[in-house]
Amino acid sequence: MAIRVNPKLINELEHFGSEDVFNCYHCGNCSAVCPHTDEFFVFPRKSMRSLQMGLERKLERSIEPWLCYYCGQCSEQCPRNAQPGETMMSLRRWLISRYDFTGLARLFYKSWKSELAAVIIVALLTGVGLLAYGFWQGNIQIYDGAGAFLPSSSIHIFDLAVGGLMFLFLAVNSVRMWWFIMDPKEQGIRLGLYLKKILLLPWHFFTQKRYAECESGEPGTVHIPWLLHLGIALGYVTMLILVMVFLHSLQAGPQIVWPVHVFGYLASIGLATGTIWMLHARLKKTRVQYLRSQGSDWIFVTLLFIITVTGILQHILHRVGLPFAANIVYVLHLMAVVPWLLRMPFSKWAHIIYRPLAMYFADIQRAVLAARAAATGSIQQVRHAA
């Protein structure tokens, strides 16, 4: 079978953040210190080699970049300063652009100015539309109930429409990810194995547990970046569920509906803590994985910070009886939320879906590769074939 080689692949990856791939001379230190590399999935070295050789198709169907959580140990131990951790990050951006059928992810990752322009345009259109609707049918001095400027019933329909569009893009791109990685025509994995491993999806989605294993300190210590990352992920998912299902209770007031709002408060704490920590880490470059932040990274964290702050402020203003200010901040909040949701399938935040899928697919592949190794008596042979 012919092997497709792209000699310009390294140059292309530079647009996604990779800079030092040619420095790698394959000593293997990176794979030796990685807490996640195993007998079947050897990285980052394998991915670095494929990239140097221009093996575009091999990288396109690879799962190793998703198994890396960029703890930074590989980059810290590299004697050639090849930044393997950053290369794996750039490969994940590149893979997102390959899964995306619209081409938007590729455009955004190659040009942060295009992404920023798209965010600003969508935000302005959202703001103008909401203000026009609010003044047309309601009173800006009323936040909730009859005559509300932005009634929860209307915003609920709007949220469902935007969320539905987001999930549609994510679903299609996730199927493409499955097609690339699992290659059903070639591997022929039985449905029973998919069903047997299906619980891995919610496990990795809600725990992000593999990230906790990145800590290089004493056994039993808590990996703080994992804890904060988990706070952001669960906080966002919780708020998404609350908005999509319990929006009327969230907007009711000024009394507090504790069975609903308590989850909103916990989610807000997780989002605020994680976002502030992320901003501080990127500004101060406190860890190796924050030494090189792409424009898309800054758009991600800045937009999330705006969403968190405006969401908290809008809630406070409503509860203290300032409906006019609460409505204005609510519009600003939605101006950040809408472009955030619509760019999710084409940005770093798609990791929240792709990572659990990758862990799920990887465990299925391990089972298949282990069976082949047992049949052939050679793990090396099976690994080479994969």
Range of the domain at 201: 104-358
Q: Give a yes or no: residue 378 inside a domain.
A: no
> Same domain for 108 and 53?
no
> Same domain for 249 and 224?
yes
> Same domain for 304 and 328?
yes
For residues 115, 120, 123, 125, the Cα torsion angle rounded to the nearest 10 degrees is: -110
> Same domain for 93 and 165?
no
Q: Are 18 and 343 in contact (CB under 8 A)?
A: no
pLDDT tens-digit map of 37-64 = 888 888 899 999 999 899 999 999 999 9
Residues in the chain: 386
* Final residue belonging to a domain, choices 80, 99, 118: 99
- Report how far Cα 89 is from the mean position of its chain's Cα atoms: 12
What CATH number is given to the structural domain containing 328?
A: 1.20.950
Confidence class of residue 358 from pLDDT cuts 50, 70 and 90? very high
CA-angle at 368, arms to 198 and 379, nearest 5°? 140
Q: What is the pTM of this model?
A: 0.91
Query: Structural domain tally of the chain?
Result: 2
* Final residue belonging to a domain, choices 38, 72, 99: 99
What pLDDT is stored for residue 193 in this prediction? 93
> Same domain for 199 and 287?
yes
> Same domain for 79 and 213?
no
- Report how far Cα 148 is from the mean position of its chain's Cα atoms: 35
What pLDDT is stored for residue 324 in this prediction? 96
Cα separation of 52 and 70, whole Å? 20
Cα separation of 339 and 116, whole Å? 10
> Same domain for 90 and 194?
no
What pLDDT is stored for residue 379 in this prediction? 62
- Report how far Cα 73 is from the mean position of its chain's Cα atoms: 21
**Residue 149 to residues 90, 131, 138, 157, 246: CA-CA distances in angstroms?**
44, 9, 4, 15, 19
pLDDT of 377 > 70? The answer is no
> Same domain for 78 and 127?
no
- Report how far Cα 371 is from the mean position of its chain's Cα atoms: 32
> Same domain for 182 and 224?
yes
Q: Give a yes or no: residue 88 inside a domain.
A: yes
> Same domain for 94 and 234?
no
pLDDT tens-digit map of 120-171 = 999 999 999 999 999 999 999 999 888 999 999 999 999 999 999 999 999 9
> Same domain for 144 and 22?
no
Q: Count Cα atoms within 13 angstroms, Cβ side, for 152.
A: 16
> Same domain for 216 and 76?
no
Confidence class of residue 72 from pLDDT cuts 50, 70 and 90? confident
Q: Are 88 and 42 in contact (CB under 8 A)?
A: no
Q: Give a yes or no: residue 139 inside a domain.
A: yes
